[in-house]
Structure 1
Amino acid sequence: MPGVGRQAPLPTQALVDARAWYASPAYQEILRLRTDHIDGDVVLVGGVGDGYDPRERAAKLRAETAA
């Protein structure tokens, strides 16, 4: 299934921190190490609510891709 890959849902503060890290001069300096050698995207989005279970989500994605 195209578009299904690794996901790491983040709570709100972690999302804020991740965006700050991504924009940091230190990460920008090494960003090409990822983009030149890995075919994929990093998408930072919010919306993971209380009670979210990443294991449940992963199981659902595995089931969908196995079908």
Structure 2
Amino acid sequence: MKATVYTVSGMHCTHCIEKVSSNIGKITGVTDVNVDLDSGAVTVTSEGSLDDAAVAAAVGEAGYTLVVA
């Protein structure tokens, strides 16, 4: 298993967490999604490496923005 931490902006409530978690969770290979609302950190556990573009698209579909450092 591999854990990758992303930062998502625009989340402010439990509903936001549910939308982001649900969308990212649909990506093939994702086994768990943990969101820290205060920091915007989203830890994604997967069976292998993730396509960052797929994560960004999933976050965008939920209505939020993946922050790229």
Q: Under a length normalisation based on structure 2, what TM-score does the superposition of the two structures give? A: 0.29
Higher strand residue share: 2
Q: Under a length normalisation based on structure 1, what TM-score does the superposition of the two structures give? A: 0.29
Q: Which has the higher contact order (CA 8 A, sep 6+)?
A: 1
Larger radius of gyration: 1
